[in-house]
């Protein structure tokens, strides 16, 4: 076999990130960005492999041995996550792998690519033993590295978006250009599904409620890149040029779309693999009317019978869309409701929608037969106990089929992180401190509350919601007794929290 040019690695630290939830309840999603970048490198003629350490349940030692056995020219550790803000927590596994490879196999070149490395490139170079860091989306940087002798400092100067060391000096090159709409299909020509262990991925327990509790097989897919909004708590646009600390000097926040024919080819591949559970991972699928309705109408024609979930905002979902979304197989909409307090929402540029139209829209979505996963955040900058209670009361009143309760984190790549850097005592001490579910979890304090007060409220809110008799009765009536019992089993798992004295 010819030498492997590049191995794309999805790291694993799921036990520390999710605690005991990782055994049954956390999803295991295909690493879309690793698949996209691998397919691009393969299209360029390179010999490519993907190692998904999380799906394969590989510890860092086994992962390193597998990498070394392939003897690649370059190892690209791709640091994204199952939800848009999960990149920093996944740096835990990436960091351990970089350390082990550097200390024991120094001849192997490593590149960190993803949201966190892009947002804080210099800091990543300072903290980690990787040879290189990619700032930006990745395809042009990876292509540039694979063309050169990576031991030649002069040749490294020509690789766009690259951070590297010249002796003890950290250097960076001019950024790679953001992928244009015109070049999207050639720069990112779909996911290398055949290089991924597709049989090992599982969806979230709530997504499977509408599929008889069957969580496998499962896949996730992008139909667009980027997000048109700029909420201060969100970091998802960091690889596309938002809130990077330095070395970003061109247009930002571009929202791009793969064409419908191309997306339908990807859906057809998933259908032929026997996959029904699908996540549309776009940061905002229900936004561009022409784009998402065209895809939905084509899905209706195909009659795939997919069980799909997708992201939307309260102010992007319209009643006239709902019937088409449902017929296309979109059984779940993930709604960014965030806060039950209008003033708190406005403070993070989330929108001016009121409780009344939130309630009305939720009723309309339910009437169309679509389930809702409500996303709520406790500990936004203006939150106090009363406003967080407003959010919990709203969640309980809406009684969505599932709800995520998050604490506000100052994720690298967000405006909140730039503000929190002025007082680093507010920030977590390590990567897993950015995880919502870890022992070391440390939310951002508000102007009125400590990190511990925010986290304690969140954990109590979770139990109040999922032990609420009204909620459990709704779940049993809609999905059956077995699903209710799974919810009750989930609430028996207690997350230990360092800052709460556990």
Q: Assess whether pLDDT exceeds 70 at residue 242.
A: no
**What are the tokens at 157?**
């100067």
DSSP string over 258-326: --HHHHHHHHHHHHHTT--EEEE--TTSBS-HHHHHHHHHHHHHHT---EEEEEE-TTT--GGGHHHHH
51 or 344: whose pLDDT is higher? 51
86: confidence class by pLDDT, cuts 50, 70, 90? confident
Distance between CA atoms of 433 and 10, rounded to whole angstroms?
A: 20
CATH 3.40.50.280 assigned to 6-172: yes
The CA-atom distances, in angstroms, between 82 and each of 19, 170, 219, 238 are 16, 31, 11, 16
Q: Assess whether pLDDT exceeds 90 at residue 476.
A: yes
225 or 373: whose pLDDT is higher? 373
What is the overall mean pLDDT for the chain?
A: 90
Beta strands 110-114 and 402-407, pairing class: unpaired
Backbone angles phi, psi at 165, to 5 degrees: -110, 140
Structure confidence at residue 19 (pLDDT)? 82
Q: Assess whether pLDDT exceeds 60 at residue 486.
A: yes
Q: Assess whether pLDDT exceeds 80 at residue 234.
A: no
What's the pLDDT tens digit per position in 103-133?
999 899 999 999 899 989 999 999 999 999 9
Q: What is the DSSP letter of 202?
A: B
> Degrees (nearest 5) of the Cα angle 52, 54, 60?
90
Q: Assess whether pLDDT exceeds 60 at residue 361.
A: yes
Percentage of the chain modeled with pLDDT above 90: 74
Residues 258-279, mean pLDDT to the nearest whole number: 97
> For 59-73, 135-149, 237-251, 426-440, which range has the lowest pLDDT when averaged over its residues?
237-251
* Selection from 82, 326, 371 nearest residue 207 by Cα: 371
249: confidence class by pLDDT, cuts 50, 70, 90? low
Distance between CA atoms of 386 and 384, rounded to whole angstroms?
A: 5
**What are the tokens at 493?**
């798992």
Task: Check: CB of residue 347 under 8 Å from CB of residue 324.
Answer: no
Distance between CA atoms of 196 and 220, rounded to whole angstroms?
A: 12
Q: Assess whether pLDDT exceeds 90 at residue 300.
A: yes
Residues 148-170, mean pLDDT to the nearest whole number: 94
Q: Where do the structural domains in the chain lie, given as residue ranges? A: 6-172
Residues 434-448, mean pLDDT to the nearest whole number: 93
Neighbours of 119 (CB within 10 A): 27
* Selection from 5, 10, 25 nearest residue 495 by Cα: 25
What's the pLDDT tens digit per position in 317-339?
999 999 999 999 999 999 988 77
85: confidence class by pLDDT, cuts 50, 70, 90? low
Percentage of the chain modeled with pLDDT above 70: 91
**What are the tokens at 440?**
């070391």
Structure confidence at residue 247 (pLDDT)? 61
Q: Assess whether pLDDT exceeds 90 at residue 464.
A: yes
* Selection from 348, 412, 415 nearest residue 89 by Cα: 412
Helical ranges in 403-450 per DSSP H: 415-420
> Degrees (nearest 5) of the Cα angle 271, 139, 104?
100
Q: Assess whether pLDDT exceeds 90 at residue 353.
A: no
Q: Assess whether pLDDT exceeds 80 at residue 23.
A: no
389 or 226: whose pLDDT is higher? 389
Q: Assess whether pLDDT exceeds 70 at residue 231.
A: no
What's the pLDDT tens digit per position in 30-75?
999 999 999 999 999 999 999 999 999 999 999 999 999 999 999 9
Q: Assess whether pLDDT exceeds 50 at residue 250.
A: no
Residues 374-379, mean pLDDT to the nearest whole number: 94
pTM above 0.85, yes or no: yes
């Amino acid at each position: 076999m010819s030498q492997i040019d590049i191995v794309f690695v999805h790291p694993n630290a799921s036990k520390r990130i999710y605690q005991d939830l990782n055994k049954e309840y956390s999803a295991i999603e295909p690493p879309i960005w690793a698949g996209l970048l691998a397919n691009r490198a393969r299209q360029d003629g390179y010999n490519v492999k993907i190692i998904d350490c999380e799906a394969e349940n590989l510890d860092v030692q086994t992962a390193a041995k597998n990498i070394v056995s392939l003897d690649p020219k370059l190892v690209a550790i791709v640091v994204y996550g199952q939800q848009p803000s999960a990149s920093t927590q996944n740096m835990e596994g990436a960091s351990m792998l970089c350390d082990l490879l550097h200390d024991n196999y120094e001849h192997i070149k490593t590149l960190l690519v993803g949201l966190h490395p892009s947002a804080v490139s210099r800091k990543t170079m300072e903290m980690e033993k990787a040879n290189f860091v990619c700032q930006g989306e990745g395809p042009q940087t990876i292509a540039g590295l694979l063309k050169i002798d990576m031991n030649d400092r002069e040749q490294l100067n020509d690789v766009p978006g690259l951070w590297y060391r010249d002796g003890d000096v950290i250097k960076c090159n001019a950024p790679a250009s953001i992928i244009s709409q015109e070049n999207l299909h050639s720069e990112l020509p779909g996911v290398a599904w055949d290089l991924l262990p597709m049989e090992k991925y599982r969806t979230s327990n709530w997504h499977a409620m509408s599929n008889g509790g069957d969580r496998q097989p499962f896949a996730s897919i992008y139909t667009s890149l980027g997000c048109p909004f700029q909420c201060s708590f969100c970091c998802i646009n960091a690889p596309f040029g938002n809130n990077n600390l330095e070395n970003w000097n061109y247009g930002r926040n571009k929202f791009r779309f793969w064409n419908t024919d191309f997306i339908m080819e990807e859906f057809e591949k998933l259908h032929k693999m026997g996959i029904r559970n699908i996540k549309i991972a776009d940061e905002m699928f229900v936004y561009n009317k022409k784009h998402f309705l065209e895809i939905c109408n084509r899905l209706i024609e195909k009659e795939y019978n997919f069980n799909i979930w997708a992201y939307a905002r309260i102010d992007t979902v319209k009643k006239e869309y709902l019937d088409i979304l449902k017929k296309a197989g979109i059984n779940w909409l993930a709604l960014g409701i965030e806060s039950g307090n209008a003033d708190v929402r406005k403070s993070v540029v989330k929108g001016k929608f009121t409780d009344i139209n939130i309630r009305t829209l939720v009723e309309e979505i339910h009437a169309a037969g679509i389930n809702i996963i409500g996303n709520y955040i406790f500990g936004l900058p203006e939150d106090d106990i009363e406003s967080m209670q407003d959010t919990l009361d709203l969640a309980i009143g809406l009684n969505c089929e599932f709800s995520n309760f998050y604490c506000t984190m100052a994720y690298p790549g967000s405006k909140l992180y730039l503000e929190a850097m002025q007082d680093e005592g507010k920030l977590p001490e390590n990567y897993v401190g950015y995880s919502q579910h870890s022992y070391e979890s440390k939310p951002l304090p508000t102007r009125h509350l400590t990190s511990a007060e925010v986290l304690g409220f969140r954990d109590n809110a979770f139990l109040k919601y999922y032990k609420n008799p009204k909620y459990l009765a709704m779940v049993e009536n809609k999905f059956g007794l077995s699903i209710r019992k799974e919810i009750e089993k989930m609430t028996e798992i207690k997350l230990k929290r360092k800052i709460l004295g556990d």
